[in-house]
Structure 1
Amino acid sequence: MEIIDITKENLESEHICCAIASNEDFQVLSKKKWIFERLDEGLVFKKGNVRGKCFIEYIPAEMAWAPIIAEGYMFINCFLVAGQYKGRGNSNLLLEECIKDSKEKGKKGLVILSSKKKAPYLSDPKFLKYKGFKVVDTAYPYYELLYLPFKKREKKPRFKENAKKSSIKERGFILYYTHQCPFTVKYVPLIENLAKSKNIPFKAIQIKTREEAQNAPSPFTTYSLFFNGRFITNEILSVKKFERIIALYGLLKKDPAV
């Protein structure tokens, strides 16, 4: 498979979203805008020359939209190979490209956010650990910060303290999110509108800057949902999944007219 580097010149024409076919889809346009604004900060987006789930996205850790301290490392934002492209060596190919590029840029190693067990929207810990990544820090409730140093005795990365407990003081449903993932621009308003229609306390907080992301209350800044101060999930929720959550807390009241 040929590996393509996304640049300002080819960003508009290349397929970059994992499950959205049209380059004109508003979710795709949102993601491409996010990428465009990060390219001058050192963001790298490498993809297979296919229209599917086969890419790796990374950035110097100092510029990462993540509450970590990892000076001199490269942070992998997103790493996904799935569907017909899985099991054909493409994950190895993309990771090797990332390692080669990061070494050429003088980085100390790679850092990536994962979890104790495979979780939605987080990289597969089993594959990463097989490739030599090790757990260097943890955060509530299941987050793991994995790293792959290129040399021995490199200073270890860690989570910032503000993200370790994944808790906030505000009541009701509070959602922190960014446009790093194309799906947030679609699904956040949908569940926000559902909550409003049911008179359920809900506030969506878009993280708009790197500084805000690095001081976020949870490791996964793309999407973190809290209820009454407690972290609930990092999964980007559909309306049906959000309904199940609010029903679980006894907040989904039936329409009296039914």
Structure 2
Amino acid sequence: MDIVKLNDKNIEDEHICCAISDKKSQDGYQKKKDWLKTEFKNGYTFKKLNVRGKVFIEYVPIENSWLPLVGENYMVINCFWVSGQFKGKGNGKKLLEQCKEDAKAQGMDGIVAISSDKKRPFMTDPIFLKCQGFEIIDEAPPYFKLWGLKINPDSTFPQIMDSAKKGTCPNNEGITAYYSNTCPFTDFYTNNMLRKYAKEKNIPLEINHIKSKDDAHKLPIPWILNSVFYKGELVTLEMKTERHLNKLIS
């Protein structure tokens, strides 16, 4: 199967994989495409198999990454997803190889990716990263791990910014949410479902829309897609937060 690289010319005709079956997130789907158009100018890459399914990888030079990382001359994997019938067929390795080839072509020293202590929704599988030669190079509470793979053995690995190692958010009252349009799901679930939930439960709600790299670098955790806190503590990175909040609040 061929690999397609999205760009300014084909992005409106190509689907962006992850939201193809979620009709509720159509506005977020377009906002993600608009975000991609802007970030293409900063070296952002979105590659996918030429199929109608969730099988793609996104990456960007660390100098232009929205993840709160400090370092230079490394490629940062932003989102990496292989699901359904495309799993277990070498497609993940094939897409990762694309990232490696681009990093080498640009003279980069290696690749990094934020994941976790175990497989979690919307995060790259840490078992896969380990099998592909990545190692844990930094950590942040409560469970974030920065995985790295060197191309240049003499290079220095990037690190998570100290400001993103807090693990808690400043607001200790009610629910606090952070989201960005780097994911097509976040807009609907944050501004509709989460608002509705907070109103029904009569819980104070603060929503922070991450609109720039500078905003993202001020996050208290090294994650930009979506995060929900309750009384300052991280509850979930998933979009459907009701069951997580209900369990905690009850």
TM-score by length of 2: 0.94
Who is 1:141 aligned against? 142
Which residue of 170, 193, 196 maps to 2:196?
193
SS in 2 for 1:25: helix
AA aligned to 1:127 is F
Who is 1:218 aligned against? 221
Give the percent of matched residue pairs that are identical in Structure 1 and Structure 2: 41
Per the TM alignment, residue 167 of structure 1 is displaced from its structure 2 partner at its CA by: 1.2
Q: Does 1:15 align with 2:18?
A: no
AA aligned to 1:4 is V
SS in 1 for 2:58: strand
The unaligned stretches of length 5 or more in structure 2 are none
Show CA shifts across 1:24-79 (max 9, x none).
Answer: 93232121111111000100000000111110000111111111112110100001
Who is 2:76 aligned against? 75
SS in 2 for 1:185: helix
Distance 1:10 1:62 in 2: 25
Who is 1:256 aligned against? none
Show CA shifts across 1:149-195 (max 9, x none).
Answer: 10212111110011112112212110011011111011112111221
AA aligned to 1:122 is M
Q: Does 1:117 align with 2:109?
A: no
The unaligned stretches of length 5 or more in structure 1 are 251-258
SS in 1 for 2:30: helix
Show CA shifts across 1:185-237 (max 9, x none).
Answer: 11112111221233211111101110110121111111111111112221122
Per the TM alignment, residue 19 of structure 1 is displaced from its structure 2 partner at its CA by: 4.0
Per the TM alignment, residue 243 of structure 1 is displaced from its structure 2 partner at its CA by: 4.9
Give aligned pairs, total: 247
Contact 1:19 1:52 in 2 (8 A): no
> Would the alpha carbon gap of residues 160 and 223 (structure 1) be closer, same or farther in structure 2, given more than 3 Å must change?
same
Contact 2:55 2:82 in 1 (8 A): yes
Distance 1:80 1:26 in 2: 21
Contact 2:136 2:145 in 1 (8 A): yes
Distance 2:144 2:10 in 1: 34
Q: For residues 80-159 of structure 1, what are the structure 2 equivalents within 5 Å?
A: 80-159=81-160
Distance 1:229 1:61 in 2: 28
SS in 2 for 1:29: helix
Which residue of 154, 161, 178 maps to 1:176?
178
Q: Does 1:233 align with 2:231?
A: no
SS in 2 for 1:225: strand
Distance 1:140 1:39 in 2: 31
How large is the Cα RMSD of the aligned pairs? Answer: 1.6
> Would the alpha carbon gap of residues 133 and 247 (structure 1) be closer, same or farther in structure 2, given more than 3 Å must change?
closer
Distance 1:126 1:119 in 2: 11
Higher relative contact order (CA 8 A, sep 6+): 2
Distance 1:221 1:242 in 2: 20
Which residue of 194, 204, 218 maps to 2:207?
204
Structure exhibiting the larger radius of gyration computed from Cα positions:
1
TM-score by length of 1: 0.91
Contact 2:176 2:207 in 1 (8 A): yes
